[in-house]
Amino acid sequence: MTPNEPAGSAGAASVDDAVGAFADAAGTPTPAGDSRTPILRARRLVKTFGRVVGLDGVSLELYPGEVLAIIGDNGAGKSTLIKCLTGAEVPDEGEIWLEGQPVHFKRPQDARAAGIETVYQNLAVSPALDVAANLFLGREERKKGLLGSVFRVVDQKGMRQRARQELAALGISTLQDVTVPVENLSGGQRQAVAVARAAAFGSKVVVLDEPTAALGVRESNQVLELVKNLRDKGIPVILISHNMPHVFEVADRIHIQRLGKRAATITPQSHSMTDAVAIMTGARRG
């Protein structure tokens, strides 16, 4: 029994089906006794690709200051879900609220402008540019005065200084030199740049799709530390991962996707890794 699953739902196909009437009447179900307002909330998202159903009525809640992991088998709809939340895909149906306000993102830039920073599964850093330039990609700061306003001269010195400050604030100590091209960095350092970029601009929410999938043990641990640092700074994080030990180490709550639906939302306290895998594969209900 999960904290947010109503009694008597055995036999229902998913949590969202099971709580349909309840959710309509009383809003999205929250963990027992939890009266907080979600910073980001989605209700009954549907996304189809031709005849393939990517999302089949998925709801999700992200609360302030938490790490919400999303787990599920390949093709369960994890990436599609976060793409719908971050403007990379537009859902066919369903509603999304950010800080209680309805939002309708058409492009990733829309979500970014609203304070949602995303590191997609296919990592987007520009290898030929240096660390500082990557951090400010698409947000270059101009020099003060006419040089900046008229001639659009980029304030490289200022950006490098700010890049150092941002990295230090996030506890990233492996990137001493922000003038190094990103192509010369290790996989973990590149990921750190992407995460730092996500964190550096006063974001309200940071979304990471499989940030440790291609990384070694040490590099993965660095990224996990970053996720914790973000949370400690008060920035909630949505983290997609296949790595159960990682998920159970950092997540406050775990959203389990199965066949395009939310099968359950659990916590590391309420369920074991074996339980989580069983729900993921359909061997067990939440």
**Tokens in use for 34?**
């939890």
**Tokens in use for 281?**
């594969």
Taking the least distance from each CB to ligand ATP, the nearer of 129 and 259 is 259
Residues near Mg ion, by CB under 5 A: 79
In the list ligand ATP, Mg ion, none, the entry touching 246 (Cβ below 5 to 8 angstroms by class) is: none
CB of 80 to ligand ATP, least distance (A): 3
In the list Mg ion, ligand ATP, none, the entry touching 91 (Cβ below 5 to 8 angstroms by class) is: none
CB of 213 to Mg ion, least distance (A): 9
Taking the least distance from each CB to ligand ATP, the nearer of 50 and 100 is 50
Taking the least distance from each CB to Mg ion, the nearer of 163 and 247 is 247
CB of 47 to ligand ATP, least distance (A): 8
CB of 121 to ligand ATP, least distance (A): 6
In the list ligand ATP, Mg ion, none, the entry touching 134 (Cβ below 5 to 8 angstroms by class) is: none
In the list Mg ion, ligand ATP, none, the entry touching 54 (Cβ below 5 to 8 angstroms by class) is: ligand ATP
Q: Vertex 255, ends 63 and 18: CA angle to 5°? A: 100
Q: Which residue is nearest to Mg ion (CB)?
A: 79
In the list ligand ATP, Mg ion, none, the entry touching 80 (Cβ below 5 to 8 angstroms by class) is: ligand ATP
CB of 77 to ligand ATP, least distance (A): 4
Sign of CA dihedral 271, 274, 277, 282: negative
Query: Residue 265 and residue 187: Cα distance in Å, rounded?
Result: 31
Taking the least distance from each CB to ligand ATP, the nearer of 78 and 261 is 78
In the list Mg ion, ligand ATP, none, the entry touching 77 (Cβ below 5 to 8 angstroms by class) is: ligand ATP
Query: Residue 16 and residue 138: Cα distance in Å, rounded?
Result: 38
CB of 81 to Mg ion, least distance (A): 9
Q: Please list, in sequence order, all residues whose beta carbon lies within 8 angstroms of the beta carbon of residue 13, skipping any fewer than 6 positions away.
A: 261
Residues near ligand ATP, by CB under 6 A: 49, 52, 54, 72, 74-80
